[in-house]
Amino acid sequence: SLYVYLFELNLRNLLYVIYFSKQFSLSHLTIREAKHMRKIAIIGGTGIDNPDTLKGFEKKIIETPFGKALCNIGTMSGNQVVFVSRHGVDHSVPPHKVNYRANIWAMKSLGTEEIFATTAVGSLNPEMKAGHFVVCDNVLDFTKSRINTFYDSPERGVAHCDFTYPYCPTLREKVIKCLEKTDITFHKHGVYVCTEGPRFESAAEIKMFAMLGGDLVGMTNMPESILAREAEMCYTNCSIVTNMAAGISPTPLSHKEVCDAMALSIKNMEKLILSFIAYEEPTEAKYNCHHAMQEFGGFKL
């Protein structure tokens, strides 16, 4: 009868263990549902190289198979934030030499789920004027010399990634909602033409891009956006118009003009970045960026 007693005791203990572990996992779930820690990366383009708001962030060099990437890592509004300056802290890396693969790989290895990128752009669209913000929704890729995929080695094999909508529709909506709360003049749509640079365009090229449906011209969103999609992260862009494009502008273009115009918009962009990081309202997932490579077994670091 002692054996029977011990057996019952153990059975009761076992039931207790099951009961409490269920309670524990339930309360654990409730806590997670209350606040999901977003893992965000910000790519700062021209003029957004070193925002004041990053004070207290830890500078870390991340080693990747493609070289090193300098990341600033911190926490804001309870979310993990990684800041990467696309052209280096002193704007020393030209657009065609940016190590896009190292930057995107580093963000992925830090657990990033959402990337918000800023870019300076020229405008081909008379409605989009200097100082306006544009949440682009599509791309025309005119780059020439850049490695535009992670899938170029025998180990990774051949993969063709969907790119119908290059910018994550869910993240675009978040950015638009944030912009709606400000007095910044912005546009919800825009086709971004990515040129190779580092030169500005000819007047004839701009005329052609306009005929093809382009609204804005810049030098950096490709291959950044496709690499982010291949690495199964959400990516969106907010462009700041700094000048009218070549042949539309009455004067020759200059880098100084771009930087001077950006300087006027930096405060607005910092405000937008902060509000994007703090964004808490639920958004409907419209495209499953985090499984973009499912057909090819998923993206692996």
Which positions from 189 through 218 interact with ligand HPA, judged by CB under 6 A?
195, 200-201, 217-218
Nearest to 102 by CA among 63, 75, 134, 132: 63
Q: How far apart are CA 298 and CA 144, in angstroms?
A: 27
| Region from 63-71, 141-149, 173-181, 240-248 binding ligand HPA, contact rule CB under 6 A | 240-248
The stretch near ligand HPA (CB under 6 A) out of 61-69, 74-82, 120-128, 153-161 is: 120-128
From candidates 219, 238, 277, 292, binder to ligand HPA by CB under 6 A:
219
Q: Which residue is nearest to ligand HPA (CB)?
A: 122
Q: Is 242 in the site for ligand HPA (CB under 6 A)?
A: yes
Contacts of 269 (CB under 8 A, 6+ apart): 47, 48, 118, 133, 238, 240
Q: Does residue number 42 form part of the binding site for ligand HPA (CB under 6 A)?
A: no
The structure tokens listed for 62 are 């991340």
Q: Is 166 in the site for ligand HPA (CB under 6 A)?
A: no
- Give the nearer residue to ligand HPA in terms of CB position, either 113 or 201: 201
Region near ligand HPA per CB under 6 A, out of 7-15, 21-29, 77-85, 237-245: 237-245
Q: Residues with Cβ < 8 Å from 255, sequence gap 6 or more?
A: none
Vertex 109 angle, CA 198 and 35, to 5°: 110
Among 121, 135, 184, 226, binds ligand HPA (CB under 6 A): 121
Q: Which residues pair with 56 in a beta bridge?
A: none
Q: DSSP class of residue 249?
A: S
CA distance 13 to 8: 9
Per CB under 6 A, 222 contacts ligand HPA = no
The answer to whether the beta carbons of residues 253 and 246 sit under 8 Å apart is yes
Cα 157 to chain center, whole Å? 25
- Looking at the DSSP assignment, which residues form a beta bridge with residue 119? 239
Distance CA 253, CA 207 (A): 16
Of 40 and 120, CB closest to ligand HPA: 120
Q: Which is nearer to ligand HPA, 81 or 128 (CB)?
A: 128
Binders of ligand HPA among residues 58 to 77 (CB under 6 A) are none
Out of 106, 226, 233, 253, the residue judged to bind ligand HPA by CB under 6 A? 253
Comparison of 48 and 81: residue with beta carbon closer to ligand HPA: 48
Which amino acid is residue 44, in one-letter code? G
Binding site for ligand HPA (CB under 6 A): 120-122, 195, 200-201, 217-219, 242-243, 245, 253, 258
